[in-house]
Amino acid sequence: MNEYDSNRIYDVVKEIGFKKTEILSEATCYLLNTCHIRDKAKEKVYHEIGRLKKNFRLKQKPIVIVAGCVAQAENEEMLKREPYIDFVIGPQAYHKLNNKIQEYLKKQKRLDETEFDAISKFSFLKNIKNSSKKVSSFLTIQEGCDKFCHFCVVPYTRGPEFSRSFNEIVKEAKILVDNGVREIILLGQNVNAYENKNFRLSDLIFEIEKIPKISRIRYTTSHPKDMTDDLINLYKVSKKLMPLVHLPVQSGSDKILKLMNRKHLISDYLKVYERLKEINSEIEFSSDFIVGYPGESENDFNDTLNLVEKIKFINSFSFIFSPRPGTVASKLETIDREISLKRLEKIQQKLFNHQINKNKSLEKRVIDVLVENKTKESSKFFGRSEHMTPVIFDGNNDEVGKIVKVQIIKSNQNTLFGKVIRKSKLRVA
């Protein structure tokens, strides 16, 4: 979501004449977009500002803005602790950036803009562009969260659940497609909780799928409790919804799920998995895991390992529990760091093995790849499989934005390598 937000921020500040630069010392305005989901984010901000100060020691200082969820959570403290920061702006206020920059330039007075106002943000930010000319684009449809999992800071930094207007999203999808986008990733902290005037995520996907030039649709991140029948059944009929379901489970133990306030059981998760596999056996799952949650016993952790073994998630994120200020879990007694580290290593090894095996199983097979761009380092091209795995292959510029058939020659944990099979060479199997 921060990548999407950063692009929107750029679309906003472009209107008052700012341009992106890769050369730090050239910057007249420096904006740091931050994430607060795990620890160290705050310290990273001060570290980055320290580097910036060094860079500008002998030069005119740029306007320094800290945006995003760290700014939201630490607003006053940041301004107090680091005088080099000129203003902080929260994730629901960046539509006000231009006014704030101008106000700051006029008055030279430091600013704190961290109010929750998702509705006015989206009505202001209606003219999405595809400034970076990408083939695959994020599109935020929902923000915030009302679920209050005990470990998570999102409900406090992004605010309450808000779903954007159905028509606005479809309009934005069309603009993106007109500007060269062929894959849309619908985004939300709780994307499958989307609900606007009785329209649900499934309705949105169904409608966006009708845009002729769009090839692929994905959505992230979902909550298991919101995997409703309409969304599951959409996999039976949709031609463009990709067969990778990113569905964070966090833990394989019902006891830990309850302590986390996740509001579902492992049996519910397995039901979703089995129903989707029945609809299409090519559907794969990926997930997020938290290890070392307060109260997690060796048995609980083994339940998580067993779940990983059963589902064979192909591409997942795993983290050690990080206490976040203001959350219920931040007050609980943490488990030994060494134990958590060992568990993380163990689960990651298992997850990586499944990923390696999945990629290996594709060697010699011909798969559909959406071509995204030429790689910077070589003459090869970059694209992604239906399961979102990066694919590197010989291609040509005309194929960017198109789906090509690629025969996989070799693979490693994260990437597939292959060659494009052009029509004349394709034999019917």
Q: Which member of 145, 217, 249, 344 binds ligand SF4 (CB under 6 A)?
A: 145
Q: Which member of 32, 154, 217, 242 binds ligand SF4 (CB under 6 A)?
A: 154
Q: Which of 299, 50, 12 is nearest to 131 (CA)?
A: 12
Do residues 381 and 393 make contact, with C-beta atoms less than 8 angstroms apart?
Answer: yes
Residue 147 in the binding site for ligand SF4 (CB under 6 A):
yes
Site track for ligand SAM across 160-189, x = CB under 6 A: -----------------------------x
User: What residues between 317 and 336 interact with ligand SAM by CB under 6 A?
Assistant: 319, 321-322, 324
In the bound state with ligand SF4, the residue whose beta carbon lies nearer, of 137 and 189, is 189
Neighbours of 202 (CB within 10 A): 21
In the bound state with ligand SF4, the residue whose beta carbon lies nearer, of 222 and 385, is 222
Q: Which of 142, 145, 159, 160 is nearest to 261 (CA)?
A: 145
CA angle (235 as vertex; 232, 238 as ends), nearest 5: 135
- DSSP alpha helix (H) spans, 35-161: 41-55, 69-81, 97-107, 118-124, 154-157
For residue 134, the 8-state DSSP code is -
| Stretch of residues binding ligand SF4 (CB under 6 A), selected from 114-122, 150-158, 235-243, 378-386 | 150-158
- Which tokens belong to 32? 């740091």
Q: Which of 147, 171, 320, 278 is nearest to 221 (CA)?
A: 147
Site track for ligand SF4 across 164-203, x = CB under 6 A: -------------------------xx-------------
Distance CA 101, CA 95 (A): 11
Binding residues for ligand SF4, total number by CB under 6 A: 10
Q: Which of 344, 305, 287 is nearest to 321 (CA)?
A: 344
Do residues 199 and 175 make contact, with C-beta atoms less than 8 angstroms apart?
Answer: no
Residue 247 in the binding site for ligand SF4 (CB under 6 A):
no
Which partner from the list ligand SF4, ligand SAM, none does 319 bind, CB cut-off 5 to 8 Å by kind? ligand SAM
Phi-psi region of 345 (alpha: psi -120 to 50; beta: other; left: phi over 0): alpha
Which partner from the list ligand SAM, ligand SF4, none does 56 bind, CB cut-off 5 to 8 Å by kind? none
Q: Which member of 4, 11, 38, 258 binds ligand SAM (CB under 6 A)?
A: 38
Q: Which of 226, 216, 136, 134 is nearest to 189 (CA)?
A: 226
In the bound state with ligand SF4, the residue whose beta carbon lies nearer, of 189 and 359, is 189
Residue 385 in the binding site for ligand SF4 (CB under 6 A):
no
The amino acid at residue 276 is L
- Strand, helix or coil at 246? strand
Q: Which residues contact 3 (CB under 8 A, 6 or more apart)?
A: 138
Residue 288 in the binding site for ligand SAM (CB under 6 A):
yes
User: Nearest approach, Cβ of 317 to ligand SAM (angstroms)?
Assistant: 6
Residue 261 in the binding site for ligand SAM (CB under 6 A):
no
Residue 35 in the binding site for ligand SAM (CB under 6 A):
no
User: What residues between 198 and 227 interact with ligand SF4 by CB under 6 A?
Assistant: 223
Name the residues that contact ligand SAM, by CB under 6 A.
Answer: 37-38, 151-152, 154, 189-190, 221, 223, 248, 250, 288, 290, 319, 321-322, 324
Name the residues that contact ligand SF4, by CB under 6 A.
Answer: 145, 147-149, 152, 154-155, 189-190, 223
